A and B are shown apart, each in its own frame.
Chain A
Amino acid sequence: MVPARVRVAFAHAAVQHLADREGVDVLHIKGIATDDAVRRSEAGGTDADVLVRPVHVGALLAALERHGWHRENSFETGSPFGHAATYRHDHWGYADVHRFFPGLHADPDAAFAVLWEDRLEKQLGGVTCPVPSLAGQALIQIANLARNTGALPGDPYLDRVLGDGSPLAADVRTLVDRLDAQIVVDAVLGRLDRHRDHPDYRLWRVTTQRGTRTEEWLARIRAARTLREKLRLAVRAPLVNTDHLRHTLGHEPTRWEITKEFLDRPRRGLLEEWHTRVRRRRRG
Chain B
Amino acid sequence: MTTWRRPSHVAVVDQPAAVTGDGSPGGVVYLGPLPDGPVVVLQGVAAVIYRAAVSDTGTDLVELVAAGLGVEPAEVDGEEVEQFLTELRAQGVLEASQPG
Contacts and interface: CB of A to CB of B under 8 A. Distances in A.
Interface of A: 2, 5-7, 9-10, 13-14, 17-18, 21, 67-68, 89-92, 125-127
B37 A13 contact: no
Contacts of A2: 30, 39, 41
Given A2-B30, A2-B41, A126-B6, A9 B36 contact: no
Interface residues of B, number: 16
A92 B32 CA distance: 9
A61 B32 CA distance: 21
Nearest to B37: A91
B13 interface: yes
Q: Which 7 A-B pairs have the closest CB atoms?
A: A91-B37, A125-B11, A13-B11, A126-B12, A17-B34, A10-B32, A6-B13
Nearest to B38: A91
B37 A90 contact: yes
Nearest to B14: A126
18 contacts: A5-B13, A6-B15, A9-B11, A10-B32, A13-B11, A14-B11, A14-B35, A14-B37, A18-B35, A21-B35, A67-B35, A89-B37, A91-B32, A91-B39, A125-B11, A125-B12, A126-B6, A127-B34
Contacts of A92: 32, 37
